[in-house]
Amino acid sequence: MSTSSSPHSSSSQLSPTTSHSSLPQSSWKPKVLLFGDRSGTKFDDELREIAEVYCLPRVGYEEMVPLIKEVVETEGPFVAFGGLFLITDNFPGKWDQGLLGPLAPHCKLYVGPGAGYDKVDVDWITSTGAMYANSPTQVGKRTADGALILILSVMRGLTPQDLSVRAGKWRANVRTLDWRTATIGIIGLGSIGTQVAHLLTSIGANSIIYHSRRPSSTAHPAWGYRSLEALYAEADVIVLTCPLTNETKGLICNESIAKMKDGVVIVNVSRGPVVVESDLVDALNSGKVMRAALDVFENEPTVHPGLMSNPNVTLSPHVAPAPDSMGPPMNGEVVENIIKFIETGMPLTPVNLGSLKQRG
C-alpha cells in the first residue's frame, strides 16, 4: 500500500505503510501512528520491520483532530504515537486531550521532536498511564552550536558593528568581551546547557559557572555551581538554556536584572517567556544590560518593538538549531524512541517516569 498522503479526502490521508491484510495471521505487529511519513534515517525501515506504521499528513490542530479520531476508529488501537515535523512545517501547536484523546487509553507512548515540551499536556498523558518522550539529543547539539554563534557574536558586538558599516560609518564604538577571561553563567545545565559549556571550554573559556535545580554529576570539574543570586552577581554573560516551567517563566525580569552586573550580556536560546521582554528593553535602554542575543521571544512571532529598534540586540527567529537541515537526525530520534519502546517497554528519553511512579 502506498505511503503517500492525499490532501483531498480524510480517507485517503491515512497512509498505512504495512497492510494488515498482507500480514500472516501469526505475525501480529503492534500498530504505530505517525504524523509525517518518514524521518529519512535508517530507523524508518527498522520500525516497519517490527510494527504496522500508519501515517497522517502534516496539518494543523483543527485538521488533525478528526483525522486522529477517524484512524483510531478504523485502524486502531495504536500503542505509540509520534510526530515527525520541523518548526517550519504545518503541525498541531499543542498536544492535549482534544487532539490525542481518541488514542487513549491504549496508546502508551507519545513522542515529540525536539527537547522542549511546553506545548504538550504531559499531565494529561500521565493520567492515561502513558509515557511522553522528547527527542533532545540531536536538536540539543545543533541548538548548542547556534547558541555558541550568538554568544561569540554578542560578546564581540557584531550586530552594532554590522549596522555601523551598513550606515556608512565604518567602526562603531563597541566594548567587547573576551570569552577566555569573562565569566560566563549558564542557567540550565541540561543537554543543551552542557553542550554549550563544552563548546565554550573547547575554545578557551576559563570561567564557566552554572545554575540548575541541583549540581550536575556530569559537569566538568572546572565549572562552578552557583545559586541564582550568586550567578547573577558574578556573570559577565548570562546564557539561558533552561526549560520553560512555572519556575522559569519570567525569570529574567526587573528584579533579577537588578541583581546582575552593570553591563551584563544576556543570551536566550531556551524559551521566549523566560524573559520579560519589556523589562529587558528597559534594562538595555538604561545600559544595565549592554547587549542581548535572542533566538526565542515572549510572543513569537511578534517581537517587542523596543528590541527591534535597539542596535545592541541580535535577533534570530528561533533558528539556533538550523531547522531547515535538522529534520532527519531529530525525527530519526523520534522513531528510535518508538523502536526502543516496542523492543524493551521503555523509550530512550521519557520525561514523566517520576509522575507515573507517583500515580502508581
Find the distance separating the first CA and the last CA of the chain, reported in whole Å. Answer: 41
Residues 243, 116: contact at Cβ < 8 Å?
yes
List active site positions. Answer: 271, 300, 318
Residues in the chain: 360
Residues 228, 235: contact at Cβ < 8 Å?
no
Burial 152-188 (b: 16+ CB within 10 A, else e): bbbbbbbbbbeebeeeeeeebebeebebeebbbbbbb
Q: Which residues contact 358 (CB under 8 A, 6 or more apart)?
A: none
Distances (CA, A) of 288 to 102, 256, 264, 311: 51, 12, 7, 15
Query: 135 pairs with which residues across the strands?
Result: 114
Which alpha helices (H) appear in 16-58, and where do they start and end?
43-50
SS3 for 131? strand
Cell of 221: 570539574
In 259-354, the DSSP E strands lie at: 264-268, 289-294, 313-315
Site of grid cell 505509540: 80
